[in-house]
Amino acid sequence: MCYDWFPKARSQKVPISAPIVKAKAKEIAQQMEYSAFSASDGWLQIWSKRHNITFRHTSGDAADESQIDVDQFKAKLPSILLGHPPENIYNPK
């Protein structure tokens, strides 16, 4: 589910950092009542390698975030997550 969320958020030009991905993964795990998940640095490293994702620092105008954009994304997020089965949230292998 976290990976399904990632490209959708990126396509909406939402800036995404490693801590944001970890927070999103924790949020999804909580929603799915999977209490053993911690979104550790090791998990993030494996997840980003599996999906060929790198995090780059942006500065200047590219790093500016509008609170309106953030609020709009937060409003859209529940609809983005609809229809994802629990087994897509975390692969313990």
For residues 19-32, b (16+ Cβ closer than 10 Å) or e, as one string?
eebbebbbbbbeeb
Question: Is residue 89 over pLDDT 60?
Answer: no
Domain positions in the chain: 2-54+62-84
43-84 pLDDT tens trace = 899 988 998 888 765 555 545 566 777 788 888 867 776 777
Q: What is the pTM of this model?
A: 0.55
| pLDDT confidence band for 93 (50 / 70 / 90) | low
Instruction: Give counts: helices (H), strands (E), the chain.
Output: 4, 0
What does the alpha-carbon distance between residue 90 and residue 93 come to, in Å, rounded to a whole number? 9
State residue 8's pLDDT score: 86
13-37 pLDDT tens trace = 777 888 888 988 999 998 888 888 8
Angle at CA 90, nearest 5°, toward 39 and 79? 95
